[in-house]
Structure 1
Amino acid sequence: MAEPTPPVIEAEKPPVPAPAVSEGADPPPAPEVAARRWSPPKLSWTAIAIAALLIVAGVTAVLMAWRVWPFAGTVQSTENAYVRGQVTIISPQVNGYLTSVPVQDFASVKAGDVLATIDDRIYRQRVDQAKANVASAQAALANNPQQAASKTATYGSQEAAVASAQAQLAKARADYARIDSLAKDGFVTRRDRDAALATLQSAQAAVAQAQASRTIASEDIQSVKVNKGGLVASVDAARAALRLAEIDLANTVIRAPVAGQLGEVGGRQGQYVTAGTQLMALVPQTLWVTAAFKEAQTAKIRPGQKASFKVDALAGAKLTGVVEQLAPAAGSEFSVIRSDNATGNFVKIPQRIAVRIRIDRNQPAAARLRPGMSVEASVEVGD
């Protein structure tokens, strides 16, 4: 670049003395002053360089702000984004009349705080009844050893009866053998022989009866042993019923499962509610942003990338976050009725894929976020 030519300034001429003027003559005309040329001050190369850098920085900032070339591909944005949260519907697990609802609309609660109570008189009686059933089952189980001992003693008695019957049978056989021998020789009448035979047969029947009674006593012992398992199961069943009754009693007090803020409270004192009746909604403190990007925009979106979003309800306040996950499928795949493009004219419609953005901590404006708020999300995807 050629150096600019400095302006030429004419040198001032010495003043010309005015000619003498005679008395009564006209004064001579004043001498003309030569006009001077103006020129701007000379700029240094440093000032020119600083000005050029400021211009380039300003143009770059404008291009980045408007996301135009060459910065168009570094950030992906969408207005189809909303603040989300795990809204929990609070419902009772048991039926009954509400005896108290100590919370109000939009109240902040901690985990374990009482939200409502249900009349528990019936459930207390069920607990008492279950405790009585447990005691009865335990008593029956405790009586099992005595029953086993009694049956064992009975079996021993039947063993003795069998031995006695067998001894009587042996005596009857011996008596019959002697009488039968004497009857053959004519020393005993036939009547005596028949009486001895009847005694022998009676002894044989007594042995059979004693053996049968012994078998019954043995089976009774086995029955007592088997019945013990049933009694143990009865005790377990009674205890399980007691635990269920205690759970139902505990469920008459409805507590907050997590810390958060309540929505509108629908339950009122004296209202009859059933299991599953919606009483109120609880919004926990953990929130995130779900942004639906067009499928082409997600080509370079990855978990861990920095993100930001502007909240309409907060006068466009800008918050930051980090990409956590991308949805496993496009939103249309989760719809109840899917579109069928197998017939008719086909129009290609870009699908959208949801991206979950974790909100960074220590942002004062984040405390004012509410699920359902509309935001404008952006993700820095790099070059």
Structure 2
Amino acid sequence: MLDKNGLDKNGKAGVIFLVLIIVGCSGGIWWWTYSRNRVSTDDAFVDSHSFTVSPRVPGRVLDVFVNDNRQVKKGELLLALDPSDYEVQVKEAEASLLMAKNETSGEYAQIEVAKAGVDQAKVAFEQARLDLKRGQSLYEKEVIPKEQLDRLSTACKVAEAKVDEIQGRLNREEANLGLAKNGSKEAKIAQREAKLAQAKLNLSHTKIYATSDGYITKKTVEPGNFVQPGQALMSIVDLGNIWITANFKESQLTDVKPGQNVEFEVDTFPGKRFKGKVDSLMAGTGSAFALLPPENASGNFVKVVQRIPVKIVIDSAAQTEHILRVGMSVVPTILTR
């Protein structure tokens, strides 16, 4: 039986089937084109810089001014160590420097006295040498006996030895004060000044400040704890400069290049889409930089598709909201064409 369009039931079924084929082909072509121009992965997460806060000098914690998850600004005071010991060291260094300056003044005076003694000894030696010369002349004329000449010769040798003795004492004094030929007159004072500067620097390290804007995490310190240099006390996570680390299969990266647009979803905010751009591709696969990289040259080899980390920068709008947290799971899609 024909309908008003002149088609029977078989004709209607054929038309419907033809329409389904056309729709299916169109959908297949669209999906093939769509998937060819996009690559996606669920092996991705939010990443950021983090800074470990640790002391540079040992001491007992006096106060802690921040708590976990609190936002801090660069230069904000985080905690303070007991400064008592370091204040004493500064006072000791200041007193030592003052004593060095006074001692140096006295040593300069001693050196001047020693120089005068050297000049006096040289004059006495010159006089003894002249007396010996005259004595030799008189002895040749048989005016004085041999015994008197011997006494003049001995006196000349004693005067010469006296010059050497006082000159050696002067050299020792100059060496102790740093007045040798290649030394510095202010060597001792400079040494004490350096110790004072180090003491003041150690005192300044008893206050620990934030090195960056961010949020406090992993705080493990409380007032009364004794801490050592390099000990991790807390971390600062900079949420104002976050990115996505996406581990794509190596076969997906044929057409991926820096600057391409990215759309991504975060499991924490279903239905909300964020935007970003491809920043760079890592110089190697994740396994190549593992603690124990695979050694394919030994044993049996089984080919495994490797993953290469891709850094995706996030648009500034999402960054300023500070709603993303480090480690959140992300599904990015790179628009390759």
TM over 0.5: yes
Query: How does the TM-score come out when normalised to structure 1?
Result: 0.73
1:95 aligns with 2:58: yes
The answer to whether the Cα contact below 8 Å between 2:288 and 2:294 also exists between their aligned partners in 1 is no
- Give the structure 1 partner of residue 74 of structure 2: 111
CA deviations 1:88-143 (Å, max 9, x no partner) are 22222222221111212211111111111111100111111122233333444445
- Give the structure 2 partner of residue 318 of structure 1: 273
Report the residue type matching 2:158 in the other structure: Q
1:213 aligns with 2:162: yes
Q: Which residue among 180, 183, 200 is the counterpart of 2:149?
A: 200
The answer to whether the Cα contact below 8 Å between 1:319 and 1:366 also exists between their aligned partners in 2 is no
- Give the structure 2 partner of residue 237 of structure 1: 191
- Give the structure 2 partner of residue 75 of structure 1: 38
CA deviations 1:254-298 (Å, max 9, x no partner) are 111111111243211222222233222211131111111111222
- In 2, distance between residues paired with 1:160 and 1:89? 72
The answer to whether the Cα contact below 8 Å between 2:50 and 2:235 also exists between their aligned partners in 1 is yes
- In 2, distance between residues paired with 1:158 and 1:240? 40
- In 1, distance between residues paired with 2:94 and 2:319? 54
- In 1, distance between residues paired with 2:32 and 2:46? 30
1:360 aligns with 2:320: no
Q: Which residue among 116, 125, 133 is the counterpart of 2:96?
A: 133
CA deviations 1:150-194 (Å, max 9, x no partner) are 3332221112101221232133224423336xxxxxxxxxxxx6x
Report the residue type matching 1:339 in the other structure: P
- In 2, distance between residues paired with 1:260 and 1:288? 15
The answer to whether the Cα contact below 8 Å between 1:140 and 1:231 also exists between their aligned partners in 2 is no
Q: How many angstroms does 1:348 deviate by? A: 0.9
Report the residue type matching 2:287 in the other structure: S
Question: Any stretches of 5+ residues in structure 2 without a counterpart?
Answer: 6-21
- In 2, distance between residues paired with 1:137 and 1:304? 65
- Give the structure 2 partner of residue 291 of structure 1: 246
- Give the structure 2 partner of residue 349 of structure 1: 304
- Give the structure 2 partner of residue 252 of structure 1: 206
Map 1:26-105; keep pairs closer than 5 Å. Answer: 68-105=31-68
Q: How many angstroms does 1:316 deviate by? A: 4.2
- In 1, distance between residues paired with 2:285 and 2:78? 39
Q: Which residue among 234, 241, 262 is the counterpart of 1:307?
A: 262
In structure 2, the residue corresponding to 1:166 is in which secondary structure? helix
- In 2, distance between residues paired with 1:197 and 1:344? 105
Seq. identity, %: 29
- Change beyond 3 A, Cα 1:365–1:377: farther
In structure 2, the residue corresponding to 1:86 is in which secondary structure? strand
- In 1, distance between residues paired with 2:188 and 2:276? 58
Query: How does the TM-score come out when normalised to structure 2?
Result: 0.82
Could you tell which deviates more after superposition, 84-93 or 144-153?
144-153
- In 2, distance between residues paired with 1:281 and 1:364? 20
1:171 aligns with 2:171: no
In structure 2, the residue corresponding to 1:313 is in which secondary structure? coil
- Give the structure 1 partner of residue 8 of structure 2: none
- Change beyond 3 A, Cα 1:356–1:225: same
- Give the structure 2 partner of residue 31 of structure 1: none
Q: Which residue among 157, 161, 168 is the counterpart of 2:120?
A: 157
In structure 2, the residue corresponding to 1:70 is in which secondary structure? helix
In structure 2, the residue corresponding to 1:329 is in which secondary structure? coil
- Change beyond 3 A, Cα 1:216–1:127: same
- Change beyond 3 A, Cα 1:364–1:287: closer
Q: How many angstroms does 1:370 deviate by? A: 0.7
- Change beyond 3 A, Cα 1:365–1:167: closer
Could you tell which deviates more after superposition, 334-343 or 95-104?
334-343
The answer to whether the Cα contact below 8 Å between 2:242 and 2:319 also exists between their aligned partners in 1 is no
- In 1, distance between residues paired with 2:306 and 2:319? 35
Q: How many angstroms does 1:80 deviate by? A: 0.9
1:268 aligns with 2:222: yes
In structure 2, the residue corresponding to 1:299 is in which secondary structure? coil
Report the aligned-residue RMSD: 2.7
In structure 2, the residue corresponding to 1:275 is in which secondary structure? coil
- Change beyond 3 A, Cα 1:216–1:272: same
CA deviations 1:33-66 (Å, max 9, x no partner) are xxxx99xxxxxxxxxxxxxxxx99xx68x976xx
The answer to whether the Cα contact below 8 Å between 1:74 and 1:380 also exists between their aligned partners in 2 is yes
